[in-house]
Amino acid sequence: MTDVHYPEHHDPARDWRGDSAAIAAISFDVDAEAPVLALDERYATHLSTMSHQAYGPRVGIPRILELLRRVSLQATFFFPAASAQRWPEALATVLDAGHEVAYHSHHHRPLVGLSDAEQEDDFHTGLELLRKMGAQPRGYRAPLWQQTAFTLELVRDAGLIYDSSLMDDDRPYRLGPAGDVAELPVHWSLDDWEQYAFLPEPDIGQSIELPSKVLELWAGELDAMRATGSLCMICCHPFLSGRPSRLRTVERFIAFARDCGDVELLTCEQIALRVLGSSPARCTRLVSKTESSRSSLRPR
Amino acid sequence: MTDVHYPEHHDPARDWRGDSAAIAAISFDVDAEAPVLALDERYATHLSTMSHQAYGPRVGIPRILELLRRVSLQATFFFPAASAQRWPEALATVLDAGHEVAYHSHHHRPLVGLSDAEQEDDFHTGLELLRKMGAQPRGYRAPLWQQTAFTLELVRDAGLIYDSSLMDDDRPYRLGPAGDVAELPVHWSLDDWEQYAFLPEPDIGQSIELPSKVLELWAGELDAMRATGSLCMICCHPFLSGRPSRLRTVERFIAFARDCGDVELLTCEQIALRVLGSSPARCTRLVSKTESSRSSLRPR
Amino acid sequence: MTDVHYPEHHDPARDWRGDSAAIAAISFDVDAEAPVLALDERYATHLSTMSHQAYGPRVGIPRILELLRRVSLQATFFFPAASAQRWPEALATVLDAGHEVAYHSHHHRPLVGLSDAEQEDDFHTGLELLRKMGAQPRGYRAPLWQQTAFTLELVRDAGLIYDSSLMDDDRPYRLGPAGDVAELPVHWSLDDWEQYAFLPEPDIGQSIELPSKVLELWAGELDAMRATGSLCMICCHPFLSGRPSRLRTVERFIAFARDCGDVELLTCEQIALRVLGSSPARCTRLVSKTESSRSSLRPR
Amino acid sequence: MTDVHYPEHHDPARDWRGDSAAIAAISFDVDAEAPVLALDERYATHLSTMSHQAYGPRVGIPRILELLRRVSLQATFFFPAASAQRWPEALATVLDAGHEVAYHSHHHRPLVGLSDAEQEDDFHTGLELLRKMGAQPRGYRAPLWQQTAFTLELVRDAGLIYDSSLMDDDRPYRLGPAGDVAELPVHWSLDDWEQYAFLPEPDIGQSIELPSKVLELWAGELDAMRATGSLCMICCHPFLSGRPSRLRTVERFIAFARDCGDVELLTCEQIALRVLGSSPARCTRLVSKTESSRSSLRPR
């Protein structure tokens, strides 16, 4: 049987949710041209394709910032360093508006195809670039939500306090031998890419769903998460959700979350700090039923 | 003309439905990492992909068990032996809660690509492993619902009393020369995979449908089946339907079935025992209109 | 510029619609195993796949016949000869119930990949087989709705009076130099395959839409066709629309059509006879605006 | 880092929207057989496929013209020259009805696969053909919305005043060093192809969405654009949206736009003339926050 090695899981600090039934976070991955050029650099001359991606920083980001200002919400923006380099004003306005900027790799290359050395180089070069431009990322999200065990080592060694790329829970947990990195799990169903991404050349998706469907999808999940005490990590892309009627769905989701009355909207960094808490006791790896206080199982 | 050889079909015991208009079963295929690793073992190092599959046993199963306990329903869990090996606690808690455990192959490999000898080896090794871990499977479901005539021989020879992998009826029947194996038919439209499975690497699906759509799909089929006297075999996967709002759809489907008033919810084993009944008379293979008491046709 | 040669179009007999605003036809393509085996004969040993296709003649056809009897409607069944050979009882019960049987090729092979000689052989052998089994087809539908100009010659030379495989109008017309073959146009949006077909091995489709969506799609088109005087050619497959809740959509569509009050439900043969009428004057090929009495254009 | 060179962007004339909250345009791309034959000329013998495309000029265009006449709306028709050559009557009736005819390449070949010389030849030959047939195109749209920087040079050098193929804004702008070409941006979500195109051979799409979904998609976007002061560029194809119930969605969208009370429906040429205005001041390329009067960002 093929062995699968999962990083160690530890419970989050007991009070990570405070008095809330569930926590929600609005995050934006500022991919822009990066994921397309990571597939093939020749797309740089495909003007229509490039323009499709450029909508994100050019139009989407200003509109998103205006929305967040209007509803007084702080959000988290994950920047590939390449996006910040191509669109320095995008990074600057996000920072100026007081939002959290987190790290989303250098070139948005799929990590699972890279050697550890290549991955390390991409990780450090991009992080350094982002820092030089004024950002102080505390967390990381892997391109395409594809990472290896080594990625988590890079995250920890760089002093980041959280990762947001895994899917084996919908509640945050602490990762690794020391439990000193918070995992803020994601899921395809809370991402706008699967609903809205349509581009034939290169093929990055073939879906154009109704914004009303997406609102029902996200609000329905958040509502159910109030019973499971989960983290509803919404992931949007400015080139997708920045479009007029889609941004309304983001706004309506925020309103829905606030109308719940028992849901708190936080940045990823705020959540990570709560999850890491005040040195919570480390879980043993021994698997017993009495141990399963979080009603979740562990692999052998 | 290419010959197609179907196993012999026999009517189920006359009273298999009792007084109910239709029968429904809730089954869970505990696939976890197995179908992904069956495609390529290198995915074991794709941490995000693995974590997506691990959600099933880690979080989905405990939540499903809690739901079933709350609504007092016994369900059937089909385990690949590999899933039981990787997540022994998952198997143990399912058994402890008194649910039926059935067999879903050793490694979730597509059977149609295997030689008979390979298929036989996979079948017996996995079944033995599951038995050693305390399960006593009475039925079988082929990975990907892909099987050959030889698979049915293995099922029968192993003393199992039912299979649940074919689609040529929506009412159970008895299979093979002796009619001593019950077939509990499945269908793509009553499976959650086609509605919810989204994973790009490897590509196991590209759908993220609304839980409300799935509820309408399943409840609509069950409702129509009350007129056809059919078996509504719901097939869920803990890594998919274990998510908060999707599990609500499972709960609502159960409530819908109960509200019908004339639908009975049973485990697969309970249905199989009814279908096999008290040595029902074997159907002849001769095709005549008067014979078609079940208003279904037979091939020449 | 690449030349495209369309067969000559002639107006249908002036009174083909009678007093109706639109005409609707319910047709069933009894594909069964044929389209799958036409892709690759090795699928004959894929028992689950074969069983998925066998649902059509085994369960779907009897239920469809029962529905048509209950609502007193005559429909048209297009049989590949191979389906009739494998399921002679299916053909017999359709004929016994007084429905129209039309011709759907011998083996459901894609015609555009065949030489004219191969196409001719497939056409005549299958038609002869169907006739020997008691059917008297008056019309033809190409497998996959893929045909060449030569196919139409075969149809005409065989003495058939209509074809139902083209898509350049939604009103019937007369085809060819003599205008002696009626074309009853089809369209993907009025077919159940695109909405319901799901099978991964081989991949014949990946859709599982709600029956309520399909009803809205078809009824909406028929409703709009009342203003355009069109033919609403519904195309169903027993292995798809024979499922319980899908068959309800067929029933509801029939009820909708009847509730319109100005829509007539006819068999394909009945429509073809009306379209061919009493030797309607042949249209000239000269293109002028005054000529466009049917408000449709003709290519140069 | 891969360099991406965007053409220079300039603000549109200040009063391009007049007193309207948003502007909408209804455009039709008269593709007919061209995009299919551009993939492979052998499809010319696939009669069913050709007939699917021929529906556009043969039936769709007359119905669209009738609708536009009935609602008294002037629209823009983008013609590949090849479509005009194959269907001269289609071009003639569109011109006769007083609609705008714009240019959509010669053969609907993907431009990004062509050398500059090939692209130039295709561009000029087709434009000349269209002009010889009586059209006076003022604007251009690239096949498949795929163009290169060189395409824009061809547009400008040919004396055209607008392009409509880019996606980096939803408000029109002025392009290039002199800002003398208006860009009227498009987007996949306002196109009917992604919603309705279904054709397996060749595969040009696999979607058959409900017209009611499309209406909600387009009307929802236009409604949201009233707050962002945008251009809602609807792009339809006669072979798709010419079908009865789909044309009703076009009609309902027009009614929705008019019911808004603050939306103006214009042709592309009318919009372009407004955007180019009376020699509006050229924007500097220097990027500063104070410069961002349109609340959009510019790349470095």
Above pLDDT 90, what percent of chain D?
A: 90
Q: Which of the four pLDDT bands, split at 50, 70 and 90, describes residue B113?
A: confident
Contacts of C208 in chain B (CB under 8 A): 188-189, 194-195, 217
Tell whether the model's pLDDT for residue D276 goes beyond 70: yes
* Stretch B250-267: mean pLDDT: 98
CA distances in angstroms from A70 to A64, A238, C37, D231, listed in the order given: 10, 17, 61, 24
Residue C290 is predicted with a pLDDT of 31
Which residues of chain A fall short of a pLDDT of 70?
278-300
Angle between helices B47-55 and A149-157 (to 10 degrees): 110
Token output for A131: 């820092």
Closest CA to A279 of A8, A11, A7: A11
> What pLDDT shows up at residue D2?
87
- The domain ranges of chain C are 19-296
Percent of chain B with pLDDT over 90: 90
Question: Does chain A touch chain D (at least 3 C-beta pairs within 8 Å)?
Answer: yes
Report the DSSP pairing between strands B263-265 and C231-236. Answer: unpaired
- What residues form DSSP beta bridges with C198? C206
Crossing angle for the helix pair C244-260 and C211-228, to the nearest 10 degrees: 20
Q: Among B10, B148, B168, B235, which would you mutate to test the C interface (most chain C Cβ atoms within 10 Å of its Cβ)?
A: B168
Using CB atoms, list chains with 3+ pairs below 8 Å to chain C: B, D
DSSP C108-149: ---GGGS-HHHHHHHHHHHHHHHHHTT----EE--GGG---H
Beta bridge partners of C265: C24
| D138, D269 Cβ separation under 8 angstroms | yes
Burial code of A256-295, b = ≥16 C-beta within 10 A, e = fewer?
A: bbeebeebbbbbbbbbbbbbbeeebeebeeeeeeeeeebe
From chain C, the residues in CB contact with B194 under 8 A are: 198, 206, 208
Q: How confident is the model at residue B43 (pLDDT cuts 50, 70, 90)?
A: very high
Q: With CA atoms as reference, report the closest residue to A27 among A239, A234, A256.
A: A234
pLDDT at C224: 98
Query: Which pLDDT score, from 0 to 100, does residue D239 have?
Result: 98
Q: Give me the DSSP letters along chain C.
A: -----PPPEEPPPTTTTTT-SEEEEEEEE--TTHHHHHH-GGGGG-HHHHHHHHHIIIIIHHHHHHHHHHTT---EEEE-HHHHHH-HHHHHHHHHTT-EEEE--SS---GGGS-HHHHHHHHHHHHHHHHHTT----EE--GGG---HHHHHHHHHTT--EE----S-SS-EEESTT--EEE----GGGBSHHHH-EEETTEEEE----HHHHHHHHHHHHHHHHHHT-EEEEEE-HHHHTSHHHHHHHHHHHHHHHHHSSEEE--HHHHHHHHH-S-PPPPPS---TTT-TTS-----
Please check whether residue D44 touches C, CB under 8 A: yes
- Residue B172 one-letter amino acid: P
pLDDT of residue A96: 98
Q: For chain B, what is the mean pLDDT?
A: 93
Closest CA in chain A for residue B37 = A2
| Nearest C-alpha neighbor of A240 from the set A191, A172, A273, A275 | A191
Token reading at D68? 């536009």
Task: List the structure tokens of B262.
Answer: 């004339």
- Phi and psi angles of residue C161, each rounded to the nearest 5 degrees, phi first: -105, -5
CB contact under 8 A, C51 and B296: no
pLDDT recorded at residue C61 = 98
ipTM, two decimals: 0.93
- In which region does residue C201 sit, left (phi positive, over 0), alpha (psi from -120 to 50) or beta (all else)? beta
Instruction: Please report, to the nearest 10 degrees, the dihedral formed by the alpha carbons of residues B41, B46, B49, B54 taken in order.
Output: 80
pLDDT (average), residues D9-23: 96
For residue D188, the chain A residues in CB contact (below 8 A) are 198-199, 208
- Tell me which residue in C48, C58, C208 faces B194 most closely, judged by beta carbons: C208
Task: Indicate left, alpha or beta for C32 from its phi (over 0: left) and psi (-120 to 50: alpha).
Answer: left
DSSP D161-205: -EE----S-SS-EEETTTT-EEE----GGGBSHHHH-EEETTEEE
Residues in C closer than 8 angstroms to B152, CB to CB, are: 47
User: Each residue of D142-170: pLDDT tens digit?
Assistant: 999 999 999 999 999 999 999 999 999 99
Residue D298: predicted pLDDT: 63
DSSP code per residue over B189-232: GGBSHHHH-EEETTEEEE----HHHHHHHHHHHHHHHHHHT-EE
How many whole angstroms separate alpha carbon D108 and alpha carbon D79?
A: 9
B291: pLDDT confidence band, cut at 50, 70 and 90? very low
Residue D216, pLDDT score: 98
Report the run of H or E that residue A44 belongs to, with start and end. none
Residue B300: its pLDDT value, please? 59
| Exposed e or buried b per residue across B231-252, where buried means at least 16 C-beta atoms within 10 angstroms of its C-beta | bbbbbbbbbbbbbbbbbbbbbb
What six digits make up the tokens of B224? Answer: 């129509």
Beta carbons of D54 and D23 less than 8 angstroms apart: no
Whether residue D110 has pLDDT greater than 60: yes
Q: Which of A140, A168, A295 to mutate to test the interface with B (most CBs of B within 10 A)?
A: A168
Chain D residues 259-298 within an 8 A CB cutoff of chain A: 287, 289, 292, 295-298
Supply the pLDDT for residue A198.
97
One-letter amino acid at C7 equals: P
A206-225: pLDDT as tens digits: 999 999 999 999 999 999 99
Q: For residue C282, what pLDDT band results from cuts at 50, 70 and 90?
A: very low
User: Does the distance separating the beta carbons of A66 and D169 come in below 8 Å?
Assistant: no
Strand partners, B264: B23
Which of C142, C188, C220 shows the shortest C-beta gap to D211? C220
Q: Is residue D288 very low, low, confident or very high in pLDDT (cuts 50, 70, 90)? A: very low
The C-alpha torsion from B60 through B61 and B66 to B68, rounded to 10°, is: 110
How far away is chain A from the Cα of D227, in angstroms, using its nearest Cα? 8
What CA–CA distance (Å, rounded) separates A227 from A263?
11
Q: Is the dihedral of CA D122, D124, D129, D131 positive or negative?
A: positive
- Other C-beta atoms closer than 10 Å to the C-beta of A159 total 9
Interface of C with B in 201-240 (CB under 8 A): 201, 206, 208, 210-212
From the CB coordinates, do chains C and D have 3 or more pairs under 8 Å? yes
Mean pLDDT, residues B36-54: 96
pLDDT attached to residue C2: 87
Q: What are phi and psi of D90, to 5 degrees?
A: -65, -50
The tokens for C216 are 């809205």
In angstroms, rounded to a whole number, what is the distance separating the alpha carbons of residues C22 and C229?
Answer: 5
Which residues partner with A206 through β-bridges?
A198
- Indicate yes or no: CB of A169 within 8 angstroms of CB of B48: no
Burial class from Cβ neighbours inside 10 Å (0-12, 13-18, 19+) for residue C212 reads middle
> d(Cα C213, Cα A101) in Å, to the nearest integer?
43
Question: Are residues A44 and D3, on separate chains, in Cβ contact within 8 Å?
Answer: yes
Q: Give yes or no for a cis peptide into B202 (omega within 30° of 0).
A: yes
Residue C279 reports pLDDT greater than 50:
no
State the chains in contact with B (3 or more Cβ–Cβ pairs under 8 Å): A, C
Q: Are 3 or more Cβ–Cβ pairs between A and C shorter than 8 Å? A: no
Length of chain C: 300
Cβ separation B212–A195 shorter than 8 A? no
- Within 10 Å of residue B280's Cβ, how many Cβ atoms? 17
Residues of A in contact with D39 (CB under 8 A): none
Tens-digit pLDDT profile for residues C112-132: 989 999 999 999 999 999 999
Taking alpha carbons only, the member of D295, D218, D284, D294 closest to residue D257 is D218
- Tell me which of C3, C4, C150, C204 to substitute to probe the interface with D (most D C-beta atoms closer than 10 Å): C4
- In this prediction, residue C278 carries a pLDDT of 53
CB < 8 Å to D82, chain C: 1
The domain defined by D19-296 carries CATH number 3.20.20.370: yes
CA A79, CA A29: separation in Å to the nearest integer? Answer: 6
Q: Which residues of D touch C145 (CB under 8 A)?
A: 48
Q: How many helices (H) and strands (E) does chain D have?
A: 12, 12
- What are the tens digits of pLDDT across the range D39-70? 999 999 999 999 999 999 999 999 999 999 99
SS3 D214: helix
Q: Hey, which residues does A245 pair with through a beta bridge?
A: none
Q: Is residue A18 within a helix (H) or strand (E), and if so which, with residue range?
A: none
D1: Cβ contacts below 8 Å, ≥ 6 apart: A82, A85, A86, A107
The answer to whether the Cβ–Cβ distance between C295 and D66 falls below 8 Å is yes
Cβ atoms of D38 and D150 closer than 8 Å: no
Share of chain D above pLDDT 70, in %: 92
Å from B89 to nearest chain A CA? 7
Q: What is the pLDDT of residues D206-249, one digit of tens each?
A: 999 999 999 999 999 999 999 999 999 999 999 999 999 999 99
The upper half-sphere exposure of residue B261, i.e. CA atoms within 13 Å in the direction of its Cβ, equals 0
Chain C residues within an 8 Å CB radius of B197: none
Q: Which of D225, D203, D187, D186 is nearest to D17 (CA)?
A: D225
- CA C101 – CA C78 distance, rounded (Å): 6
- With residue B140 as reference, give the H or E element that holds it: strand B139-140
- CB burial string D220-234: b at 16+ within 10 A, e below: bbbbbbbebbbbbbb
CB contact under 8 A, D166 and A47: yes
Closest C-alpha among C262, C173, C169, C182 to residue C222: C262
Residues in chain A: 300
